[in-house]
Structure 1
Amino acid sequence: MARPDLRLALTLVLSYATAGIGGALTEIGPWYFSLRQPAWKPPDAAFGIVWTTIFTLCAISGWLAWRAADTRALRLRVAVLFGVNAVCNIVWSALYFKLQRPDWALVEVVFLWLSIVALIVGMWRLSRWGSGLLLPYLVWVSIAAMLNLETVRLNGPFV
């Protein structure tokens, strides 16, 4: 396997590992199903499809940026931006589903959203394609943030 192929495989593994950790923290059960949801909430089946697509696009974006990063400092920037975003993504799942605190997740989603903006801006000079591939992620997290807000409004307070 050539080095570029290895790098793509690595970004896919890291991206899907992030998804896997978040997925493991996502406990859909009686608590979740008891929540009142807004009428416009997408069907639960759509979430897996959308998140799989987003994590695939993130992996490709990371691979494109890493390939374009021609210095150690630029590669470190790519790794830090994606690493911070991965942590924010996982923490949101832990707060919302594992701890059953959509109110705390609503605060944290601001940091997740900002980490995506930082990724888009940080990737722009390295790979405009890579940066553009992150736009669906930003849109989806914006929708998720509004859904999170409505869940808190319809069901709060949480204790």
Structure 2
Amino acid sequence: MMNPKVLFVLALLLNLVANSFQKPNPKTPKSTLSRAHVELVSYGLPSGLLPATTVLGYAVNRTTGEFTVKLGGACKITLPPDNYVATYSDTISGKIVQGKIAELDGIRVRAFFKWWSITGIRSSGDDIVFEVGMVTAKYPSKNFDDSPACEGQHSSS
């Protein structure tokens, strides 16, 4: 029979080893967000509007609000809650002010068997409003608290 102290130490070690092999949290930890993700939040928009992918560069003109985000590559994601497929070009640009992005270029969504460019995004209370030309769609902001993972390369033609 083993000493109870030895059994306790063995159980503790096995528990530590087992915990080290658990899967990581699938949500993007705030500590790993890029500067561009953090910048979105500073403008009153959720960080999940950008996918969880490598951001190679980000620039914003504080006077005009013009910005560009250079991603590590184009990607496809599924937008909650209606599971629309969206594609992000490797470069996204537009004009950002508190609570709003206008003149957006580089994000497209597939709806009604066609690809549509998202031309603007704005915060409206607890909701995010996506603009596709004159048409808008409103969703709860909380759906975009976490950055979605890219599902792969795309072709949006």
Larger radius of gyration: 2
User: TM-score, structure 1 length as denominator?
Assistant: 0.24
Q: Which protein has the bigger helix share? A: 1
